[in-house]
Amino acid sequence: MRALVIEDYSPVRNSVRDGLAEHGYAVDVASNGEDGLWLAEQNPYDVVILDIMLPKLDGLEVLRRLRSKGSKVAVLLLTARDTVEDRVGGLDLGADDYLAKPFAFAELLARVRALVRRAYAVKDPVIRVEDLVIDTVKRVVRRHDDVIPLSPREYALLEYLAMRAGELVTRTEIWEHVYDFRSDAHSNVVDVYVGYLRKKLGAPQLIHTRRGHGYILGGQE
């Protein structure tokens, strides 16, 4: 899952970036509203964490412009102002959730997970694909009741495929949702990681290749 953090106060920005990355998210950051809006328009983020008090372009304006251009990205507003008017105003502009500073990082994570589930129309945090069970909260994957140890990148790839289980997912989509700008790899690593994942998940095969198009988790064959 890929997140964008737009926050001008560097301790919060860097901590949220590092924390999300450690929990398997591909994270990009922006320290002002203009840069944040540009990034949000260019990339298909799964969630945008948006501070309200931002230089150049404030967070509410970023949100307004995103929505006016038809963006459906999940937006979590983050701010030190938490009067009822502030919250209502933010939500009415099209924010999906609201978190007041100072916040517990665990709560931020939980809300981000909830937003991602909502974006992919998944209600249960435990996703089942045939005999594969993915606990998106504990980030644990089981098959035949055996825990399958995965690297963070492998897990992120599997989680994305699982969120869209039964759908055709292109290489570009995987690349856009699992890798951030700090990733030094090229898009052909997607094939490499899909190979690793197949090997770890074992038989029978769950990830099916649509040659020239992409991959499908579960379903036919």
Partner 1 sequence: MRLAPSSIRGRLIAGTVAAVAVAFVVVGVVVLVLTRSSLRTQFDDGLADKARELAAQIEEDDGKVSSEIDPRTIAATEAFEIWAEGHVLAKSSSLGARDLVPERDEHVITSVQLGSHPARQITLHVQPRREPEDHGAADDDSRVVLAFARSTEAVDATVDRVAAVLVGVGLAGILLCVVLLFGVVRFGLSPVRSLAQAIAAIREDDLSARLAAATTAAELAPVAERLDELLGRLAAAFARERELTAEIAHELRTPLSGLRATLEVALDRERPADRYRTALVECLAITRQTEGVVESLLSLARLDAGQVVIAATPIDLDQLVRDVLATVHTRATERHLEITTDLPPITRTLDRDKVRVIITNLVDNAVTYAEEGGHVRVELAGDVVRISNTGCTLDRDQIAHVFERFWRADASRTASGHVGLGLALCKKLADLLGATITAEVTGGRFIATLTLPS
CB 144 within 8 A of CB 12: no
Residue among 15, 43, 71, 170 that touches partner 1 (CB under 8 A): 15
- Lateral strand order in the sheet of 47-51: 26-30, 2-6, 47-51, 74-79, 97-100
Residue among 38, 69, 72, 81 that touches partner 1 (CB under 8 A): 81
Quick check: 8 binds partner 1 (CB under 8 A)?
yes
Residue 208 tokens read as 């099916």
**Nearer residue to partner 1 within complex by CB, 80 or 147:** 80
Residue among 16, 141, 156, 197 that touches partner 1 (CB under 8 A): 16
CA distance 221 to 205: 9
**Nearer residue to partner 1 within complex by CB, 56 or 65:** 56
CB 154 within 8 A of CB 200: yes
Residue among 84, 106, 121, 203 that touches partner 1 (CB under 8 A): 106
Smallest distance from partner 1 to CB 152, Å? 12
For partner 1, the binding residues (CB under 8 A) are 8-12, 14-16, 18-19, 22, 31, 53-56, 58, 80-81, 83, 100-106
